[in-house]
Structure 1
Amino acid sequence: MASHARTSSAPRLTRAQARAAARAKARRKRLVRTSFLGVGSVAAVAVIAVAGFLNPHHAGGAAAQADPAATPVAGRTGQGDASRSVDRATPAAALKQLPGLGAGFAAKVPKSAQQVLLVTGKAKDQNTGTAVLYTRTADGSWIAGTAWASRNGKDGWTTDHHAGDLHSPIGVFSLTDAGGLDANPGTKLPYTRSSAFQAPGTGFEGESLQDAFDYVVAINYNHVPGTSPLNGQRPMGASRGGGIWVHVDHGGPTHGCVALSKADMAALLRALDPAKHPVIVMGDAASLSQ
């Protein structure tokens, strides 16, 4: 009798071959899913990026907030790598020469002087100007401090100062001694505190002189260096005047001294260091340029 079973013409697979074929089919399915997911991921990233651009506060989420380099902090100008974004105080530009000084005056500044209080008057017959403390660096250049408003003698400046002429002397003078009615604000200069630092009466514009000598620095014009500002000795003689100080501004011109605000006087005193051999260079701008 003829059999009802039909014999297949395809070769029968072994068990090992069947398992290999199943694995290959599974790999093909994974590749299809991965490819589809990859396209979708790119699109999703693009959407997130656009959303972050439109609303940067949400870009990055909690991970960005946890990253200290991505969060603005004090002393930085923006976000990003801390090693590149931290602001440092911009150093003052170093100057090869003291500004406004001509060759003649520049040559008078001692080579040992590492601090120079440069007081520049507006004009020879005027009594206001600007004071700046400069510090010399190791390579011989100068760094400027804060510019302070200053006053000087009522009738301006002179190269031939005499007692009572109401002019401030032009020149380069050392600064070695300080004192005042108030306690030492922190200067390294020898400081004499005394009730003798009194300025009775009123100034040229009717202003009180009560606080004028709260802080003073003796300018070594006709003064004995290394002695109190109150020392009355006059090496050049009494006729040449004396008692020329940097003192507290009382709101008007001086008899011949240089005056700064009380806060600026305190800052000056704290900055001056006898080890740096400070000097004052003072005069009107035109005279100092010679």
Structure 2
Amino acid sequence: MRRWSTVRRSGTVRTTAAALGMVLLGGCGGGASADAGHNGNSSGRGNGSGSERETASPGTVTDLIPGVGAAMRARIPANAHQVVAVYGESTTSADSTIALFTRHGDTWTRERTWPGHNGKRGWTTDHHEGDNKSPVGVFTLTDAGGVLADPGSKLPYHRSAGFKAPRSWAKSHWHDFDLVVAINYNRVKGTSPLDPTRPQGQSKGGSIWLHMDHGSGTSACVGQSKADMEYLLRTLDPAAHPVVVMGDIADLEG
């Protein structure tokens, strides 16, 4: 399995303290912060609330991904056989429900559902750095990493102390980046999640990740429990070309 180093020859990216600060402030670390394509604090919830009504029961086979309308489906690559669907409760809510779907032929099987959080000010179709909203859209998932040792990730995994959250943050946020999967919004695919490159410009934000939850809304990322992050890392397979489909319910349904 490929592992990232802190220097990328093509473009030469160095994980310096200054570069890391820019990454964190530009994304879930502390500011705002897509391939294609919507945070008030709240506490974690059980599996029976919010937008989970938009998903099927575990193991259910469906022709379409529940709650994802034609416009959003058209943005899912034809070769994608794994979809992480993030159903935000509303445009202004930080609460979301997350589900993993796997495609077999022309049908989708819902593998698992769990609660999570998105941007503390909700969702936007025009994300900008510092808006504290998560971007609505369909984004590929190609790279992972974190402070902790690789839990068995199928995606290329970059372990680095550079993921460590600043101790100036609230203690509840210290472990946010122990495990992360980079969401390919305004970033270079095939690089460490710490790569600060912003192809669309700094104002469009970046460093938007799936990462560990701290019990409330984020700066733009999607948070879930450690167990759920471990499950995703062990399940998302580059051969299945996984993507995340994320947004508030209204925008997902189109």
TM category, shorter: 0.7 to 0.9
2:250 counterpart SS class: helix
Q: In the alignment, does 2:72 pair up with 1:108?
A: no
Q: In the alignment, does 2:100 pair up with 1:162?
A: no
Measured in 2, the distance between the counterparts of 1:252 and 1:200 equals: 18
* 1:207 CA displacement: 5.2
Question: Contact (CA 8 Å) 2:119, 2:134: kept in 1 or not?
Answer: yes
Q: In the alignment, does 2:165 pair up with 1:174?
A: no
Which runs of 5 or more residues in structure 1 are unaligned?
1-89
Cα deviation, 1:135-168, whole Å, max 9, x if unaligned, reads 000x220000111101000100000000010000
Higher relative strand content: 2
Q: In the alignment, does 2:248 pair up with 1:284?
A: yes
Which structure is higher in RCO with an 8 Å CA cutoff and minimum separation 6? 2
2:160 alignment partner, one of 191, 194, 208 = 194
Which runs of 5 or more residues in structure 2 are unaligned?
1-56
Cα 1:237–1:105 shift into 2, 3 Å: same
* 1:91 CA displacement: 8.1
Measured in 1, the distance between the counterparts of 2:218 and 2:121 equals: 9
Measured in 1, the distance between the counterparts of 2:95 and 2:139 equals: 19
| 1:41 matched residue in structure 2 | none
Q: Map of 1:77-96 to 2, 5 A cutoff?
A: 92-96=59-63
1:108 counterpart SS class: coil
Cα deviation, 1:191-231, whole Å, max 9, x if unaligned, reads 0000000112476xx55211110100000000100000000
Question: Contact (CA 8 Å) 1:173, 1:281: kept in 2 or not?
Answer: yes
TM-score by length of 2: 0.76
| 1:13 matched residue in structure 2 | none
After the TM superposition, list the runs of 4 or more consecutive aligned residues in structure 1 that deviate by more than 2 angstroms.
Answer: none
TM-score by length of 1: 0.66
Q: How many residues align?
A: 198
Higher relative helix content: 1
Q: Map of 1:198-237 to 2, 5 A cutoff?
A: 198-201=164-167, 208-237=172-201
Question: Contact (CA 8 Å) 2:58, 2:111: kept in 1 or not?
Answer: no
2:161 counterpart SS class: coil
Measured in 1, the distance between the counterparts of 2:136 and 2:173 equals: 24
Cα 1:238–1:93 shift into 2, 3 Å: same
Question: Contact (CA 8 Å) 1:218, 1:229: kept in 2 or not?
Answer: yes
1:124 alignment partner, one of 84, 91, 101 = 91
2:116 alignment partner, one of 147, 150, 153 = 150
Bigger radius of gyration among the two: 1
Q: Map of 1:40-79 to 2, 5 A cutoff?
A: none
Q: In the alignment, does 2:202 pair up with 1:238?
A: yes
Give the CA RMSD over aligned residues. Answer: 1.4
Measured in 2, the distance between the counterparts of 1:197 and 1:118 equals: 25
Measured in 2, the distance between the counterparts of 1:108 and 1:156 equals: 21
Cα deviation, 1:44-75, whole Å, max 9, x if unaligned, reads xxxxxxxxxxxxxxxxxxxxxxxxxxxxxxxx
Cα deviation, 1:1-25, whole Å, max 9, x if unaligned, reads xxxxxxxxxxxxxxxxxxxxxxxxx
* 1:93 CA displacement: 2.4
